[in-house]
Amino acid sequence: MHPGPPTVAQLLRARFDSVTPGQSARSGQNHRAAAVQAFYKPVAIPAWLVGDSLSHPAQEVLALLARAWVYGLQPADYGVASLLSLRDSLAMPAPATARQLQLVRYEVSLTDAVLAFAHDLKHGRRHRVRQPAEAAAQLRAALAGGALSATLLASQPANPEYRQLQLALAQWLAQAPGPPDSVVAHHRLRFERIALNLERWRAEPIAESEYLLVNIPAFELLVMGHDTVKRRARVIVGKPATPTPTLRSRIKYFTLAPVWNVPYSIASQEMLPRLQDDPSFLAASDLAVYDGRHQRRNPRTIAWSEVTEQTFKYTIQQDAGPRNVLGNVVFHFPNPYLVYLHDTPERYLFAQANRALSHGCIRVERPRELAAWLLRREGNPTPLPTAAQARQSPPQEVLLRRPLPIFIRYATVTAENGHLRFFRDIYGQDQVLREALYCPK
């Protein structure tokens, strides 16, 4: 009696039992192959088949993969066309052994696609975050839970910036004449711009319930509380030559009537030529110069013509006052870039459309309102002194018992109430990300 063809489970065991732990990495196979190996290594049994047919979860997740566009991803990245072709081939007559091999190929290919999709949906395509064993265990748990698609989709970032953008993309695609890979170029480019920004939120999601968000390309500050915009203000951000960095931190205190210690780069590169031409400009701007012992010096007694950028050993300081470049209040949050949020005497600049004008710090419209809101958030009813009153005393630091999370982000597309908002890519970061995602080398 001749034995029948090997079963799918037997073929799976033969395929994965021969691979020892760590072999995948040594042989140069990629992260996805390692995750597939981890999925079948404990018990090599089919996950997507019922006998010789596809299970309901297999049909469900295949339909989800085919709609990857809705989440800013591409079905082609998960081999959807090949999976559909292979699925259709299973309906055609085939010898028993060939059919079993077809089923194994489909089984493993679908696992590979789902693991990749699950990762990209949560973390984005640029970074391999989860370990293969962790990814495999999470997929097994999702299958066992009986709501595979819902479980996968629930892993997306929860912050409203991501969710509103993803829903707006889905609405836009529902009205589009076809998927982004089958219509005119501007449709594809529009999709890519939205997808780039979903990718940014996946890479750096926000898990806080209350926070301050600065979106650099939008020139906008939002105070967010439980998915609601509590406050909104225009901001001025860094010029392309001196860009504002993205970061996350916490506003720990603010300073009323601050003194401005001119950054060394500004003093030695921008002010030095002016000092060499006419030192009196300092007094006209309420600026003073100090030597290395912090002794105030008369700028006319310094031989500025002999000073270079490399030998500049002075500190320039601006006292509080109506011309102080920091305005009447500065908000401080720890960061390695020495960036802060502050007022400005040049409030007319907030009316300009292009507000990429600073050296990297962020100037905020109506900063005293933000400071007063921070005090109310603390439960502190003490009113702020007027700007004139504050300048009658030394700079006053107001510590916050509840530091407010702050996120500075770079999003060139956002959405509110289903409406997409597009902003100019002022620092040229979209093209860099587009090449990484859509132009692999």
Phi (first) and psi of residue 318, to 5 degrees: -120, 120
Catalytic residue among 2, 123, 361, 419: 361
> Six-digit token pair at 173?
């695609």
The torsion defined by the Cα of 55, 56, 61 and 66, in degrees rounded to 10, comes to: 100
Q: Which residue type does 164 have?
A: Q
3-state SS track over the chain: CCCCCCCHHHHHHHHHCCCCCCHHHHCCCCHHHHHHHHHHCCCCCCCCEECCEECHHHHHHHHHHHCHHHHCCCHHHHCHHHHHHHHHHCCCCCCHHHHHHHHHHHHHHHHHHHHHHHHHHHHCCCCCCCCHHHHHHHHHHHHHHCCHHHHHHHCCCCCHHHHHHHHHHHHHHHHCCCCCCCCCHHHHHHHHHHHHHHHHHHHCCCCCCEEEEEECCCCEEEEEECCEEEEEEEEEEECCCCCCCCEEEEEEEEEECCCEECCHHHHHHHHHHHHHHCCCHHHHCCEEEECCCCCEECHHHCCHHHCCCCCCCCEEEECCCCCCCCCCEEEECCCCCCCCEECCCCHHHHHCCCCEEECCCEEECCHHHHHHHHHHHCCCCCCCCCHHHHCCCCCEEEEEEEEEEEEEECCCEEEECCEEEECCCCCCHHHHHHHHHHCCC
> Does the active-site annotation cover 123?
no
Is 361 part of the annotated catalytic residue set? Answer: yes
> Is-contact 390 254, C-beta < 8 A?
no
Q: Rounded to whole angstroms, how far apart are CA atoms 226 and 405?
A: 13
Find the catalytic residue in 342, 359, 419, 439. Answer: 342
Q: Are 332 and 371 in contact (CB under 8 A)?
A: no
Tokens (6 digits) for 123: 């973390």
For the annotated catalytic residues, the residue numbers are: 342, 361
